[in-house]
Amino acid sequence: MSFSKIQMMTCLPLAAALAGVAAEPAAPAAAAMSLAEGLRSVFMEVVVLLVFLATFSITRRFMKSPKQETKPVGKAGKVKVRRQDPMETATMIIDLCQDQFTRGLRLYRDLVKNELDREVTEESFYTSLVEASVRVNKPDVAEQVVARMHAIGMKPSPDFVQSVLKLFAARKLYAECLRVWDMFGPTMAPHQVIYSCAAVAACETGDVDMARKLLAEARSHFKISSREWLALMRHHVRKHDWETAVKDVKELMATGMPIDNIVFNTVLSACSTTEAALPTMHAIVDEMVAYADAHPPEGTPTVDIVSYNTVMKALARHGDVEACFSLLEKFAARGVEPDDVSFSTLLDVCIDEDEHQLASVALERMSAAGVQMNCIVMTTLMKGFVRSHRLDKAMQLYESMRATNSQVKPDMITFSLLIKAHCDTHDMGTALRVLEDMLESECTVDDVVFTHLIEGCCQVNNVRLAEKLFADMKQANIKPSIYTLNGLVKVYGKCGMSQKALDLVWRMEDDYGIKPTVVIFTCLVSGLIRQKKYLDAWRTYKQMRESLRTDAYCTQTMLVGLADGQMWAELLELAQQSLQTYKRTDDRRAKGTGSRPNTLPECLNYGLTTMLNRSKVAQGRQLYKLLVEKEIEVTVVGVDRRLGLA
């Protein structure tokens, strides 16, 4: 509203009042007083409006601030704007990168947009941007900054490139490392650290040829150690390429370079992945022993106790007990003292292969070598007692470990081993006592321990104890695993609580973030069949097939259940579906000695027998036809006569 309009509105009451006075000049004294009051009121309103207008004008004038500092108008009539100094902006950006990276990045992009970053030549500016970008997990921005440096023709120093590569390598940004190398590396003076970082990045990204090229260039300019080839050897371990690992280490040996023990042990780790490399492991160890005598490294010998333990673990993995003892003899011949890992591996393979006499020999050798018993060795011995069904001996060893004067205390693996052993023998009382000892020792209890206990409850049909253990597990903030939930489903199924089993399976993903597997559904279906709830079992099986691919065991369980439940139409439907994907190689499970079938042909023959026993000849002929078409042997006695085919 303009000032002239406001004036007009304020004058209207005054004009009306004056007009009233003119119309009635002879008004009485009361009217004159009323007129005076009206004029006073109008005057006060005018004063208020004038004060408001004055305040509004002054406030508006002072709140206005010019956006740009201007200079006098030139001849062309345009206002000249003061040019911003790029170096001042760069200094501001460096400060903002400490705690206000977004503002600093915005200012940097304004510089790039106006091509003003070309005037900023301080490497500290770009270092601040790169470090801040990586710190806030924006490596793409860091790479853009480096790429911009390259685009505007900057020639960074080796120290700058080295710091960027180290920063990227520390965050495992290996692809970014290689791109920085491609931009500046080929045109830069040789630098050992830069070669090393680029070679590691090449190995981590799988570019082995480039890694070898970089290592060769580094070796031509600098005196480098064999440790630089460690990333390459680790690449061979990940790829299980033991042949190339052996080839590379032999090429290093051909140069006369001392071989670092970590590099050589990594080569042995690559060889330990397959049984075919065992002869090569023995040969390369013997070669390296002779080579190290001629080219000794500084510090730790190339072939150390870790080397021999790696070979022994490979032999133990393939069950070669005699070779492990032969290797132990080689320790002494070469002056290498075996340690606790050596004897633990030796004991473990003896127990796994049921060579208890040799295990005693290993213990004697261990005592003679002066190696102290530790928890790993004691637990290995317990495992041997458990496997030989001498649980009483295992408990004696356990009690000796828990003694006050014992220097070796049981750990989580020891407790877990004994708890499982007692659950397997249906001795839940002792298993719970071991659990109490575990809690008293303040040892960490994980989901594996509770899983063993819940599965033990399944074997003794104690659903209340299983639920109590599961509740304690959740109260202790231990997240149940898929195996824990599977054990609880088995307990419910075996104890006849099918509805609780169903509720647990259907809410499993929502409550625990775990999707039910085929194994869990198989336990659920098996429990329903055990309770003769065949229709519920069939519905559950079909719901499972909507989201999961069933395995042979689950299908066979359902086939037997349909036969027992006399659900002939469903049995024929499932039999036809199973035979469409059936292969004879699927029958890998050994035939059991009991009455229950174990393979698909056995299950179908069981179903055919059940049909004929219930005088379901028409359905029997359909199933018989399916078996004959798939060339599956029919083992039902007198099938032709009973089906009327003779």
* Phi, psi for 438 (deg, rounded to 5): -65, -40
**pLDDT score at 61:** 74
Q: What is the pLDDT of residues 82-111, one digit of tens each?
A: 556 888 898 999 999 988 999 999 999 999
**What confidence tier does 143 reach under pLDDT thresholds 50, 70, 90?**
very high
The CA-based angle 472-409-346, given to 5 degrees, is: 110
**82-86, 230-234, 305-309: least confidently modelled range:** 82-86
Helix intervals (H) in 136-241: 139-151, 158-170, 174-184, 192-204, 208-221, 230-238
**What confidence tier does 519 reach under pLDDT thresholds 50, 70, 90?**
very high
Residue whose structure tokens are 């169903």: 502
- Mean pLDDT for 550-567 is 92
Q: What's the token pair of residue 111? A: 């510089």
- Mean pLDDT for 595-624 is 89
Cα–Cα distance measured from residue 20 to residue 14, given in angstroms and rounded to the nearest whole number: 10
| Helices 278-294/242-254 angle, 10° precision | 20
**26 pLDDT higher than 70:** no
**pLDDT score at 30:** 65
**4 pLDDT higher than 80:** no
**What confidence tier does 287 reach under pLDDT thresholds 50, 70, 90?**
very high
**pLDDT score at 358:** 84
**What confidence tier does 592 reach under pLDDT thresholds 50, 70, 90?**
very low
Q: Quick one: how far is CA 332 from the chain centroid?
A: 43
**515 pLDDT higher than 80:** yes
Give the 3-state secondary structure of residue 82. coil
**411 pLDDT higher than 80:** yes
**What confidence tier does 72 reach under pLDDT thresholds 50, 70, 90?**
very low
The torsion of the CA quartet 317, 319, 323, 326, rounded to 10 degrees, works out to: 90
Count each helix (H run) and each strand (E run) in the chain, helices first: 34, 0
Q: What is the pLDDT of residues 623-639, one digit of tens each?
A: 999 999 888 999 998 88
- Mean pLDDT for 359-367 is 84
- Mean pLDDT for 31-47 is 78
Cα–Cα distance measured from residue 442 to residue 444, given in angstroms and rounded to the nearest whole number: 6
**447 pLDDT higher than 50:** yes
Q: What is the pLDDT of residues 524-538, one digit of tens each?
A: 999 999 999 999 999
Q: What is the pLDDT of residues 164-222, one digit of tens each?
A: 999 999 999 999 999 999 999 888 889 999 999 999 999 999 999 999 999 999 999 99
Cα–Cα distance measured from residue 623 to residue 612, given in angstroms and rounded to the nearest whole number: 11
**4-8, 378-382, 504-508: least confidently modelled range:** 4-8
**pLDDT score at 330:** 86
Instruction: Confirm if 442 and 449 have CB atoms less than 8 A apart.
Output: no
The length of the chain, given as a count of residues: 646
Which stretch of DSSP H or E encloses residue 264? Answer: helix 261-271
Q: Quick one: how far is CA 318 from the chain centroid?
A: 29
Q: What's at 616, amino acid-wise?
A: K
- Mean pLDDT for 353-367 is 83
**pLDDT score at 539:** 94
In the predicted model, what is the mean pLDDT of the chain? 86
- Picking from 179, 177, 167, the residue whose alpha carbon sits closest to that of residue 200 is 177
Q: What's the token pair of residue 30? A: 């009361």
**23 pLDDT higher than 50:** no
Q: What's at 172, amino acid-wise?
A: K
**29-38, 195-204, 508-517: least confidently modelled range:** 29-38
Cα–Cα distance measured from residue 588 to residue 568, given in angstroms and rounded to the nearest whole number: 27
- Mean pLDDT for 217-230 is 92
Q: pLDDT over 70 for what percent of the chain?
A: 89
Where on the phi/psi map is residue 207: left (φ > 0), alpha (ψ -120 to 50), or beta? Answer: beta
**472 pLDDT higher than 60:** yes
Residue 612's CB: how many other CB atoms inside 10 A?
Answer: 20
**pLDDT score at 10:** 45
Instruction: Considering only residues 5 and 496, tell me which one the structure prediction assigns the higher pLDDT.
Output: 496
* Phi, psi for 70 (deg, rounded to 5): -110, 160
Cα–Cα distance measured from residue 445 to residue 221, given in angstroms and rounded to the nearest whole number: 55
**pLDDT score at 12:** 38
**583 pLDDT higher than 80:** no
Where on the phi/psi map is residue 175: left (φ > 0), alpha (ψ -120 to 50), or beta? Answer: alpha
**283 pLDDT higher than 50:** yes
* Phi, psi for 81 (deg, rounded to 5): -95, 140
**pLDDT score at 174:** 94
**114-118, 264-268, 317-321, 580-584: least confidently modelled range:** 580-584
**236 pLDDT higher than 70:** yes
Q: Which residues contact 219 (CB under 8 A, 6 or more apart)?
A: none
Q: Which residues contact 64 (CB under 8 A, 6 or more apart)?
A: none
**pLDDT score at 64:** 57
Instruction: Confirm if 10 and 45 have CB atoms less than 8 A apart.
Output: yes
Q: What is the pLDDT of residues 271-280, one digit of tens each?
A: 998 889 999 9
Beta bridge partners of 81: 70
Q: Quick one: how far is CA 17 from the chain centroid?
A: 89
**590 pLDDT higher than 60:** no
Residue 438's CB: how many other CB atoms inside 10 A?
Answer: 21
**553 pLDDT higher than 60:** yes
